[in-house]
Amino acid sequence: MASQHIRSLSFPSKSHPIADQLDEQLCRLRSSQAASTSSLTNKLSGLKDLYQCVDEFLQLPLNQKSLSENWVEEVLDGSLRILDICSTSRDVLVQSKERLQDIQSVHRRRCSGELNITNEVVEYLNTRKTAKKTVKKCLKDIKENDNTNEANFIENMLKDVQSVTDDVFKSLLSYISGSQKNCWSFSKLVRQRVEKETSAFVSEFDAVDATLELMICQKKKVHVDMSQVVNLESQIQEIEGVLECLFRHLIKTRAILLNVLSN
């Protein structure tokens, strides 16, 4: 993974205080990436805080003078790619959330006599299939950074930021994609979850996909744990909010770099 190639930054002893904050944010995110228990929301929030430091750091005139035109253009290309992935991720999450809300709506009416939620489940699963194809394409767009080119201190810092950004978005995309198992593997996943026979991490997407896929595969009534559906919708809502803030920071960083390029 790209995080394995990230250098440890060594800032000058008399560096600007924001440089120390940036280094601290980078270290915190690296630790978060290494910890499997760290939530995706925390990683995205950490990335938002990192870019806030990057924005302040890049607005220092001395740092702007240290960036070559070619390097700024390279970073701008990377920022555009991440903006596209961030926007696509939000769209995919919103679509999944809407389908989950449809299932909950029909389930509530089912308690009043409407029994069949199959159509809404099929719609959700079709949305998930499309989402996984979209995520696969996004993951291909995330390329390992080339750290072999010579760069100065400021440029190396931005390289490290880009590497951490790629890793966080890989985590996000992997979360959205979930498992790539067939329905019988899903069935096994459900049993393992209930019986707690596995210590492997199972995301809420995995759990909901497993239950609903099993329901369609077996073509018979399967109890749908609506608490799983509610929890997943809540998680999506939380991640969606953090992504919105992060997107605004990414836009601001790109605007600063464009300003550097035009001066």
Q: Is 8 within the bounds of a domain? A: no
Which carries the bigger pLDDT value, residue 198 or residue 37? 37
Residue 151: pLDDT above 90?
Answer: no
Give percent above pLDDT 90 in the chain: 38
What does the pLDDT read at residue 159? 86
Amino acid identity, position 123: E
Assigned token pair, 78: 């990377």
What does the pLDDT read at residue 213? 86
pLDDT band at 184 (very low <50, low <70, confident <90, very high): very low
pLDDT in tens, 206-260: 888 888 888 888 765 666 778 889 999 999 999 999 999 999 999 999 999 998 8
Q: Are 228 and 206 in contact (CB under 8 A)?
A: no
Q: Is 36 within the bounds of a domain? A: yes
Burial (Cβ within 10 Å: 0-12, 13-18, ≥19) of residue 17:
exposed
Structural domains counted in the chain: 1
Q: Are 44 and 176 in contact (CB under 8 A)?
A: no
Q: At what angle do helices 17-34 and 153-177 cross, to 10 degrees?
A: 30
Q: In whole angstroms, what is the distance from residue 172 CA to residue 166 CA?
A: 10
Assigned token pair, 23: 């280094």
Q: Is 9 within the bounds of a domain? A: no
Q: Is 243 within the bounds of a domain? A: yes
Q: Are 176 and 205 in contact (CB under 8 A)?
A: yes
Residue 171: pLDDT above 70?
Answer: yes
Q: Is 1 within the bounds of a domain? A: no
pLDDT band at 199 (very low <50, low <70, confident <90, very high): very low
What does the pLDDT read at residue 197? 37
pLDDT band at 144 (very low <50, low <70, confident <90, very high): low
Domain that holds residue 157: 14-143+152-262
What does the pLDDT read at residue 100? 95
Q: Is 102 within the bounds of a domain? A: yes
What does the pLDDT read at residue 112? 56
Q: Is 4 within the bounds of a domain? A: no
Residues 147-171, mean pLDDT to the nearest whole number:
81
Q: In whole angstroms, what is the distance from residue 246 CA to residue 22 CA?
A: 16
Q: What are phi and psi of 17, to 5 degrees?
A: -55, -35
Q: Calculate the average pLDDT of the chain.
A: 80
Residue 101: pLDDT above 90?
Answer: yes
pLDDT in tens, 5-17: 444 444 443 466 8
Q: Is 2 within the bounds of a domain? A: no
Q: Are 185 and 210 in contact (CB under 8 A)?
A: no
